[in-house]
Chains A and B, each alone.
Chain A
């Protein structure tokens, strides 16, 4: 008999209810490799099937997620001196930090619910590049709300067929990530042919 992490998570949720959803989403927000989106979709389905309470599961799950994000930011913040000492003087790091400070909000928001695979590095970059915590947390609160609302409602709508939609979401999210990588590749490739403008 083999049990994967998602099956274990589902068993724990069935046994311990809403606090377990909160705990797992907290750890997922902290960057541990847990199937966060699957947990949210399954929770929606379990609510529909009267296995979980709708209000407490949604609220505790949401609080767990944003608490995990907050703690991860703190870890990144306190580790930033080490990261800066290692990479801080490189032009790539400086450029990335500059870009993140000006356009980081959308990255934080999208990585909370659409490109969740990138949530961990984006949080760490935000924290170590000096992105303001209040601003970071505002996008986190909005992004995680979108995540819980969209995927929780999908799980609720699909009910006992939730694993079907869960597979689709996983594929969709991966597809978007692949498209992003492809897009960046094409962008860099096209730009590499442009000659730098002559300095005055």
Chain B
């Protein structure tokens, strides 16, 4: 012990400064590295559970998901989710992550997860038990929407959109229109597909 104290006493000021820098650097790096590892885990989690497949389990919700992401992934109308969470549907609120919404509303945590996640989970289950066609908040079809999402929001069967656009329904109901258009090389691109879906919606005589 005495030796160590003696050695510390012989450390110059510049060496002490260097040691402080090393400690500060390591103290910054360790939590940031953990955060980056969490990102990797989340990406793997999403890949393992195939979030693009549709009809997901509500238990797979994650704090980084936004209302829009949940709406598309679970094919639940945004308006239904906004009503459940008690948030005013605005352009930007649909893109804010659930943990941020939770913070904004000062809801705290329950079981290690933001309380709003439980609310959203319950809303998904309740919607699946009693689907409600709330209409599209945007009042029009947009490229981020899926055919299943539009069908559930408007009450028009997904088959009607596939028949109207001539797209095969197999495995395509839960793909965002932008993505679907690129994948099937839809003539005219994403905007043409959005227009075609909008046309089906208009001919069905229902207001979005």
Contacts and interface: CB of A to CB of B under 8 A. Distances in A.
A160 B95 contact: yes
B100 interface: yes
User: Most chain-A Cβ atoms within 10 A of its Cβ — which of B23, B64, B92?
Assistant: B92
User: Most chain-B Cβ atoms within 10 A of its Cβ — which of A4, A10, A13, A159?
Assistant: A159
Interface string A154-185: 00000111111101101110110111111111
Interface residues of B, number: 48
Contacts of A178: 24-29, 32
Contacts of A45: 95
Q: Chain A interface: which size bin? A: 35 or more
B32 A185 contact: no
B104 interface: yes
B25 A179 contact: yes
Given A51-B91, A182-B25, A182-B29, A163 B35 contact: no
Contacts of A185: 18-25
B58 interface: no
A189 B64 contact: no
A81 interface: no
A90 to B, nearest CB: 16
Nearest to A163: B97
Contact of A175 (B15, B33, B90): B33
A2 interface: yes
Given A181-B25, A181-B28, A186-B18, A7 B96 contact: yes
Contacts of A172: 32, 36
B182 interface: no
B186 interface: no
A178 to B, nearest CB: 3
A189 B66 contact: no
B179 to A, nearest CB: 10
Contact of B21 (A4, A10, A48, A181): A181
B105 interface: yes
Contacts of A177: 28
A164 B39 contact: yes
A166 to B, nearest CB: 9
Nearest to A12: B92
A179 B29 contact: yes
Contacts of A3: 104
A174 B30 CA distance: 10
Nearest to A10: B92
Contacts of B28: 174-175, 177-178, 181
Interface string B70-107: 00100000000000000000111111110110011110
B14 interface: yes
B208 interface: no
Interface string B151-178: 0000000000000000000000000000
Interface of B: 12, 14-15, 17-29, 31-33, 35-36, 38-39, 42-43, 64-66, 68-69, 72, 90-97, 99-100, 103-106, 142-144
7 contacts: A14-B90, A165-B39, A170-B35, A171-B32, A172-B32, A177-B28, A178-B24
Interface of A: 1-4, 6-7, 10-11, 13-15, 42, 45-46, 48-51, 159-165, 167-168, 170-172, 174-175, 177-186, 188-189, 192
Closest 7 pairs (CB-CB, A-B):
A14-B92, A182-B25, A185-B21, A178-B28, A171-B35, A178-B29, A189-B18
